Amino acid sequence: MSLVIRDIPIEPRLILAPMEGVTDVVFRRLVRRIGGCGLTVTEFIAAEALRRNVKKILQMAEFDADESPLSIQIYGRNPEAMAEGAKMVQDLGADIVDLNMGCPSKKVCAHSGGSALMKEPELAKEIVRAMRGAVDIPFTVKMRSGWDHDNKNAPEIAYMCQEEGAEMVAVHWRTRTDQYGGVRELDTIRQVVDTLSIPVVANGDIIDAASALDTLERTGCAGLMIGRGAIRNPWVFREIEAALKGEPALSVEFGDRKDVLLGYLADIRDRFHSERGTLGRFKKISGYFTKGVPFGSELRQGIFHSQEIEQAIDVVETFFDTLDDRLEPRHRAHLRSA
Ligand SMILES: Cc1cc2nc3c(=O)[nH]c(=O)nc-3n(C[C@H](O)[C@H](O)[C@H](O)COP(=O)(O)O)c2cc1C
């Protein structure tokens, strides 16, 4: 099966999930350099702020000249502002505009944006219609399976989106009340797939080839969207791509991890300029990135307690340069499947 959003082939059919404070242009560049990801999505952007040309918000919409296909995600509750925001996304040169109907954050839901829209189907419909009418580029929607377990209305909401002109929907199996917990339940995504004729992308806890293949099989979805698994292991796309093609598993060396981590630090330093902003972002990403690395908690602690960028660089270099001597065979076996 392939994933095509109108006339845009998503190849491989793996998408980097939008993540606030993570999937900025620098992180997306890291993922694109490693490869295996067919579509990148920005972190969510408030449509109201976008139309007011707030500088910080415009930075969130920045992308590299060679970053294509790229989707920019917006959120909000005002149909008019959402239409204007969508138009701005198109004018900025994005290939796709995405509506956030999945965010559980209080900040977003308080303004009836994000997953709160799933509780207000009429408003959701107005927003979808307004955005669709405002742009010519493909328009997609990302949602949860519902607001809570008594209201798993993703099949109805997704159908409405399709009828109003959406060209792909991505569904995270959790409801809003699950937040980031809950018990994995893929039947609702399967129902969305069975109901719609546009492509449906499944999301939630896809972290490796096994979980990817399982999700594809159980939902019949056209593509997969990966969030936290990509921060922890940015090679996950290549690993899944290999599995989809029936190729051997990928081998990632520790030296690769070190280079990617330090390359990322250099890139965010360029972007943030300030020591504080750079260190803050680096600590956040490396908290995920070092999970699954043998003795990773030592590395996390070292980075976490760094007061300066140079100190963090030193911690990373020393850790990886001395790691080989500490490794036992079981670590190496783990590494091959990382
Ligand atoms: C730090 C973080 C920030 C997120 N920000 C967004 C966002 O801006 N827009 C959105 O639609 N979802 C957002 N999400 C949800 C993810 O896109 C995704 O649906 C969720 O993490 C489940 O996928 P995963 O299990 O692969 O991480 C965020 C998730 C995380 C962990």
Where residue 100 sits, what CATH number does that domain have? 3.20.20.70
Closest residue to atom 5 of ligand 1, CA basis: 19
Q: Which of 244, 275, 308 is where one domain is finished?
A: 244
Structure tokens at 271: 């972007």
Ligand 1 atom closest to residue 102's alpha carbon, by position in its atom list: 11
Positive or negative CA dihedral for 300, 301, 305, 309?
negative
Percent of the residues in the chain that have a pLDDT greater than 90, as a whole number:
77
Closest residue to atom 19 of ligand 1, CA basis: 172
Q: Does the beta carbon of 226 sit less than 6 angstroms from any atom of ligand 1?
A: yes
| Residue numbers of the domain that contains 293 | 254-336
Count of structural domains, the chain: 2
Same-domain status, 132 and 74:
yes
Q: Which of 244, 267, 300 is where one domain is finished?
A: 244
Closest residue to atom 13 of ligand 1, CA basis: 19
Residue 105's pLDDT is what? Answer: 66
Report, as an integer, the average pLDDT of 313-329: 90
Residue 338's pLDDT is what? Answer: 42
Q: Which of 224, 244, 264 is where one domain is finished?
A: 244
Residue type, 211: S
Q: Does the beta carbon of 19 sit less than 6 angstroms from any atom of ligand 1?
A: yes
Band of pLDDT at residue 179, cut at 50, 70 and 90: confident
Structure tokens at 165: 């002109």
Residue type, 196: L
Residue 337's pLDDT is what? Answer: 42
Residue 168's pLDDT is what? Answer: 98
Query: Is 161 a known active-site residue?
Result: no
pTM of the entire structure? 0.94
Same-domain status, 214 and 326:
no
Reply yes or no: is the peptide bond before residue 294 cis, omega within 30 of 0: no
Please check whether residue 239 is in contact with residue 292, taking contact to mean a CB–CB distance below 8 angstroms: no
Specify the higher pLDDT residue, 114 or 34.
Answer: 34
Q: Over 80: is that where the pLDDT of 336 sits?
A: no
Distance 17 CA to ligand 1 centre (A): 6
